[in-house]
Structure 1
Amino acid sequence: MRSQSDSLLVLPLLPIFLIGVPPMLLFTLLGFPGFVILGVLLICVGLTERLEANSDFNQQIIVHGYARRSERMIQASNLHSAIRFATIIDLAGAGLIVVGLVGFFYLG
């Protein structure tokens, strides 16, 4: 005989459920404009990431001044990596905006 309930097996999945509920409600209650709002928020995140990367790069240059070639290459590589990530986030946000607008005007 079992001494534990089957519902205790679902308990570890509760945090995943609680994290996933707000986006589902956003899309359910707002529909395609919810995609537009999420796209705008993603673009804001991308722009923030880009600005922080430039700020970190400039701070390294100003504070530490002239550095060896290998250190400059590392700093430049970090800057380019952050800018690529920000560009991908911006493109994903723009894609969500396009999907939201197309869905709103053609299907809504």
Structure 2
Amino acid sequence: MRRQSETLLLVPLLPIFLVGMFPMFLIALLGFFGLALFGVLVICVGLASSNEAHDNFNHDVIVHGYARGSERKARVSDMHLAAKLGLRLEAVGAAMIVAAGIGFVCAG
């Protein structure tokens, strides 16, 4: 029986490493400005998530019409849950921008 190399176990993880490498380089090379830029990107993701949740709800209402009360409440609940996640992402992005500003003022 032939023994396989352990390096073949790392091959499926290579794309994850390559994708995650660039944000870390962004923060490391640009410093506080990189952290603020990353915060802006997180805010954009939060806004997109919230808009997508509202878009899905509106699409369901337009295409399928108004559903029964319980089904409509379930859809509204899903929309609010996704919108809350978007709001949390926006808050985290704003906190990152504030932390970058404080770090820039204190270190500079």
Q: Please indicate the TM-score interval, normalised by the length of the shorter structure.
A: 0.7 to 0.9
1:28 corresponds to 2:28? yes
Aligned to 1:103: 103
Partner Cα distance (2:5, 2:64) in 1: 61
Counterpart contact for 2:23–2:38, Cα < 8 Å: no
Counterpart contact for 2:32–2:101, Cα < 8 Å: yes
Counterpart contact for 2:50–2:86, Cα < 8 Å: yes
TM-score normalised by L of structure 1: 0.82
Partner Cα distance (1:50, 1:33) in 2: 26
Aligned length: 105
AA aligned opposite 1:91: A
**Unaligned runs of at least 5 residues, structure 2:** none
SS across alignment from 1:56:
helix
Relative contact order: is structure 1 or structure 2 higher (C-alpha 8 Å, sep ≥ 6)? 1
> Relative to 1, partners in 2 of residues 1:20 and 1:52: Cα closer, same or farther, differing over 3 Å?
closer
AA aligned opposite 2:90: D
Partner Cα distance (2:107, 2:56) in 1: 44
Q: CA RMSD in A?
A: 2.1
How far residue 19 of structure 1 moved from its aligned partner, in angstroms, is: 3.4
Aligned to 1:84: 84
SS across alignment from 1:66:
coil
Aligned to 2:58: 58
Partner Cα distance (1:71, 1:5) in 2: 53
> Relative to 1, partners in 2 of residues 1:74 and 1:105: Cα closer, same or farther, differing over 3 Å?
same
How far residue 27 of structure 1 moved from its aligned partner, in angstroms, is: 1.3
How far residue 66 of structure 1 moved from its aligned partner, in angstroms, is: 2.3
How far residue 11 of structure 1 moved from its aligned partner, in angstroms, is: 3.2
Partner Cα distance (1:16, 1:59) in 2: 33
Partner Cα distance (1:4, 1:58) in 2: 52
Partner Cα distance (2:52, 2:92) in 1: 19
